Amino acid sequence: MSRMARSITQRELRNESGEIMRRLDRGESFIVTRNGVPVGELRPFRRRRFVPAEDFVSAMAGAPRVDLKRLRRDLDRIADQDPRPRG
């Protein structure tokens, strides 16, 4: 869910910090201004979601197998592995 950040003044941040924090919890973002000039951005912290190993293994059970030799060939073809310094 991508929304435009709402501009708030430094005074609004100071006086309404509790409400602003609740709105951050709901996913809203803010641009903080001082004298009409943007000085900072407040946005929700992206929390990492832990996935138990058993759930991951179960989700990947139907995925196609990786052909490791083909993967290696593809990587070798696109990656420059010359150890000599450039330039």
The verdict on residue 62 lying in a domain is: no
The verdict on residue 10 lying in a domain is: yes
Whether 8 contacts 19, CB under 8 Å:
no
User: For the domain that residue 36 is a member of, what is the CATH number?
Assistant: 3.40.1620
A 10 A CB-CB count for 29 gives 15
pTM of the model: 0.52
The verdict on residue 24 lying in a domain is: yes
- Is residue 4 scored above 70 in pLDDT? yes
What digits encode the pLDDT tens for the residues 27-73? 999 999 999 999 999 999 887 788 899 999 999 998 999 999 999 99
The verdict on residue 19 lying in a domain is: yes
- For residue 26, give its domain range: 6-42
The verdict on residue 73 lying in a domain is: no
Question: Which phi and psi (to 5°) does residue 62 adopt?
Answer: -90, 0
The verdict on residue 70 lying in a domain is: no
The verdict on residue 84 lying in a domain is: no
Work out how many domains the chain is built from and give that number: 1
